[in-house]
Amino acid sequence: MAMQGLQGRDPAPRASNGRGRRQRVLNFQPVPAKRLWMVYGLLAAGLAGLSLRLAWVQVIQGNELLERARSIQTQTVTPLGRRRTIVDRQGRLVALDEERFTLWAHPRYFAFPGDDIGQLRSPLDVARKLSTVLGKPMAELLKAMEGRKSGVKLVNDLDPETAQRVRELGISGIDLEAYPQRVYPQGGLFANVVGFLNLERVPQAGLEQSRDRDLRRHESERNLRRGADGTPLPDGLKAGVLYGDDLRLQLTLDARLQQVAQMALTNQVKQWKAKRGVALVMDVRNGELVALASTPTYDPNRFWTFKPGLFREWSVQDLYEPGSTFKPINLAIALQENAIDPSGKVNDSGQLTIGGWPIFNHDRKGNGVIDFPTVLQVSSNVGMVQAMRRVKPARFWHWLHTLGIDTTPDTDLPGAVAGQLKSLETFKTQPIEPATAAFGQGFNLTPLKLIQLHAMLANGGRLVSPHITRGLRSGDDLAPAPPASGIQLIKPEIAQTVLNWMETVVDQGSGKGVRIPGHRIGGKTGTAQKAENGVYVSGARITSFVAHLPINDPRFVVLVVVDEPQGGNAYGSTVAVPVAKQIIEALLVIEKIPPSRPVPATARS
């Protein structure tokens, strides 16, 4: 019975682990279909959401996220805007960009090398270290940083050597911002032609302004890709982006001769209490200006301390009546027109009347019957009128126009202007106009134009274009002088005849003060009344002197003009000639021009 009762039960399954203990076995029940559909629906919804999100990121936000990634991975280097160097004809520095730095402080990040992470140094600690390097009082630096957390400008215009010493301190929270600064090592020596940049680096005058495009260096914005650790990657750079040129603008001017001309001119202007002066030296073969000095001048490194009126070069932009220095040009015109004979003579009675207007010599004295070399030697106004009366007024005007009196010179000098010439009709109907033009009055031109015309005589009658640049050169390479050039306007033999006449002015006339033993020099002085707005200013005069050398093989023309010298003895021979002589003496040495004839023993001793 017991056995049967025991067998009639359904005992729970048991299992043994080999140690007599039993484990419970769970029976799996089938999952309801409804629950499976719910799970499936949740998974499908999640996948759909991920798909929509992926589509949103790739299609809608793709470009935005790409730009954000590139901004993180790419470093943009903006060029500093450096300018090319300017040098003189021998490679001496005239203008250059030097690197300067602005020192910024951010006190919230101050820390020294070796400090624990998170340690913050006080402005006092930083000021103590910086003061010795910067040479500034610690109290001044501390005051600048007092109560501020970031963006404190401590020093501006920091030189590269001092900036490097600041870097070596390794102070966190100290930044050096680099920028270029235009420097003019020659000071005011070339200011009249080179100009300057203002504090915003905008060109304001001279070549800096007229050649601005040529003086800007080839610099491009660089986008450099970096890896996750900041390592620069070679990809992503455009061709030529790393190219940096070393071109320099070379001038035709010579700093040595420029210095001599500047000093001689400044001393003479000061001695005669003159308003201003200018000295020009031109190579007659190619039109290169070897010197162009004017006074008063200014220092382009400190331009803000000078009057703006000094920023323009008046010898290129201001007009004046050349007076007697134009007489050799007129005699060349008369010879070219066959109106006078080289061996001919004129009667100088001291005065004459033209169209009801009296004309006098400067001393109101007559010189009798004289030849044309003597006309130049004594600077006879009456003799010039007598000579030029033989040229028809229309032809005379035609020549003045052909020579470019009333047109702007072809030059690279900034601001050059045209002269003023009366109309052809006025020349033909009013006899006084060609008469006054005969001795260099009644029309206006610039000193630049006058030296161009005299260079024409010295260049065998060929008119050259005056210029002060030889172009851009690479590295230390210097451009050679260009070959002889020019447009033939006057016959070579006529030009040489006039030069020979001008030599007598130096040997026997008003140009004696420029004589140098052994050297053949021609010249012509000028003392003209000064006109303003068509009216001559009482007592105001412009004195000048032009010289050609050497006469046997002309190479250079020197022109000196001094505006409004004071004193009763202020003439071209007393004011302008001494300046020209100092310039010529230096020119002979610099250009190694040998004597044209033996030097007398008395002169050598």
Just list the catalytic residues: 324
DSSP-derived secondary structure for 138-171: HHHHHHHHTT--S-EEEEEEE-HHHHHHHHHH--
Comparing CA positions, the residue from 289, 210, 316 lying closest to residue 481 is 289
Give Cα 258 distance to the centre of its chain.
16
153, 216, 217, 355, 414 from 80: Cα distances, Å? 19, 11, 10, 67, 27
Cα–Cα distance for residue pair 81/89, rounded to 1 Å: 26
- Asked if 252 contacts 259 with a C-beta cutoff of 8 angstroms, the reply is no
Tokens encoding 10 = 């359904």
DSSP-derived secondary structure for 35-77: HHHHHHHHHHHHHHHHHHHHHIIIIISHHHHHHHHHHHHEEEE
Pairing of β 85-87 and β 247-251: parallel
Pairing of β 289-295 and β 276-283: antiparallel
Cα–Cα distance for residue pair 22/263, rounded to 1 Å: 121
Q: What is the dihedral of CA 549, 551, 554, 556, to 10 degrees?
A: 10
Cα–Cα distance for residue pair 265/580, rounded to 1 Å: 9
* Contacts of 591-599 spanning 24+ positions with Cβ under 8 A: 591/555, 591/556, 593/519, 593/549, 593/550, 593/555, 595/517, 595/518, 595/519, 596/518, 596/519, 596/520, 596/550, 596/551, 596/552, 596/553, 597/518, 597/520, 598/518, 599/517, 599/518
Contacts (Cβ under 8 Å, ≥6 apart) of 12? none
DSSP-derived secondary structure for 71-92: HHHEEEE-----B-EEE-TT--
State the Rg of the chain over Cα: 43
What DSSP state is assigned to residue 327? H
Cα–Cα distance for residue pair 333/322, rounded to 1 Å: 16
- Asked if 524 contacts 377 with a C-beta cutoff of 8 angstroms, the reply is no
Find the helix or strand (DSSP H, E) in which 396 lies. helix 393-402
- With vertex at residue 557, the alpha carbon angle to CA 552 and CA 560, rounded to the nearest 5 degrees, is 140
Comparing CA positions, the residue from 447, 440, 409, 441 lying closest to residue 276 is 447
Tally the residues of the chain.
605
Comparing CA positions, the residue from 300, 275, 306, 280 lying closest to residue 291 is 280
